[in-house]
Structure 1
Amino acid sequence: MEKLSLDAQVRELLKLAAAASTGRSAHTVYGGHEHMLRQTLIVLTTGTALAEHENPGEATMVVLRGRVRLVAGETSWEGRSGDFLVAPKARHSLEALEDSAVLLTVAKRD
Structure 2
Amino acid sequence: MTLISIPNLHEELRTEAAAAGAPLARRHITAGARLQQLVIWLPAGGVLPEHGNPGEARLHLLIGQVRFVEIGEGRTHTLAAGDLFAVPDALHRVEADAESLLLLSFVPEA
- Report if TM-score (shorter chain) is over 0.5: yes
CA distance in 2, matches of 1:46, 1:84: 20
SS in 1 for 2:44: coil
**Alpha-carbon distance, 1:44 to partner:** 0.4
**Alpha-carbon distance, 1:92 to partner:** 0.5
Q: 1:79 is aligned with what amino acid?
A: L
**Alpha-carbon distance, 1:22 to partner:** 3.1
Q: What residue number does 2:50 align with?
A: 52
> How many residues were matched structurally?
108
The CA RMSD measured in Å over matched residues stands at 1.5
CA distance in 2, matches of 1:94, 1:81: 14
Asked if the contact 1:22–1:48 (Cα under 8 Å) also holds between the matched residues in 2, the reply is: no
CA distance in 2, matches of 1:47, 1:22: 13
**Alpha-carbon distance, 1:78 to partner:** 0.7
CA distance in 2, matches of 1:16, 1:96: 18
Q: Which moved more, 1:42-51 or 1:18-27?
A: 18-27
Asked if the contact 1:51–1:93 (Cα under 8 Å) also holds between the matched residues in 2, the reply is: yes
CA distance in 2, matches of 1:2, 1:16: 21
CA distance in 1, matches of 2:57, 2:14: 23
- Relative distance call for 1:58 and 1:88 in structure 2 (3 A) is same
Q: What residue number does 1:72 align with?
A: 70
Q: 2:46 is aligned with what amino acid?
A: T
Report sequence identity in percent.
Answer: 34
**Structure 1 residue corresponding to 2:36, chosen from 35, 38, 58:** 38
Q: What residue number does 2:6 align with?
A: 6
Residues 46-99 of structure 1: CA deviation (Å, up to 9, x unaligned): 111111111120111111111111010310101111111111101010111111
